[in-house]
Amino acid sequence: MEQIQELIQAGKIEDAIRETEAALSQLPQTDFHQIIGKNLLHLQPGLTKFLNSFYETMITEEEMDVKAIYVEMNSFSTQYERWFIHLLAYDTLNSPGNFEWLTEFSGESTESPTITGFEALQKANQQYMQSEGYRDNNLRQACELHEYLVVLRLHELVKLTVTAQKGKAAWTNVPVFVGAHDFEDLMYIVR
């Protein structure tokens, strides 16, 4: 969905969510439709503490001059047992248009908090993979749209967390990249 990618690049996460939910709602009902109207905003206080602690550790214990942070969700479409967030820090900032450099991180979180609230979707993913649901065109389309929505809801969470902490937390002064493993085409940068 090229249009969704363009909205992400323009920072219009809410519009991207709205359009993706509308596209999903036009498909025959599946377990993936449970994501419509659900968000991850209840994780905002925990994410704030996680980012505060991570940034502090990177600058004090690792003595790193943090130039960027990457908030990455695990490969949730195939790792349906547990969805989590992992943080990576960079002491250099390369071209934001080419994300290959994100594999060359300078520091990483030792913890990976679990994403809660989407457990029913984790079960839907498990059922989909185990039953080879991808062979059904409607189910495959619904799964793909739900995957976009999971990533978009992560974008929304991080964007609102950064916005709420602007002027309060030093880590908001560096670009925060947001994505999910295997979904690099949906990368979002919060500045």
Q: At what angle are helices 119-130 and 137-165 packed, to 10 degrees?
A: 150
The pTM of the full predicted model, rounded to 2 decimals, is 0.96
Is 89 in contact with 108 (CB distance < 8 Å)?
A: yes
Is 142 in contact with 37 (CB distance < 8 Å)?
A: no
pLDDT in the model for residue 60: 97
d(CA 191, CA 175): 5
CA 174 to chain centre: 18
Is 68 in contact with 93 (CB distance < 8 Å)?
A: yes
pLDDT in the model for residue 96: 66
pLDDT in the model for residue 94: 82
The residue behind tokens 């992992």 is: 86
**Residues pairing with 108 in the sheet:** 88
d(CA 152, CA 150): 5
pLDDT in the model for residue 18: 98
CA atoms within 13 A on the CB side of 187: 16
Collapsing DSSP states into helix, strand and coil, what is residue 173?
helix
d(CA 96, CA 107): 19
CA atoms within 13 A on the CB side of 138: 8
**Residues pairing with 71 in the sheet:** 87, 178
Instruction: Report the sign of the C-alpha dihedral through residues 54, 60, 62, 68, in that order.
Output: positive
pLDDT in the model for residue 147: 97
Of 28, 31, 37, 10, give the one whose Cα is nearest residue 124. 31
Which residues of the chain carry a pLDDT beneath 50? none
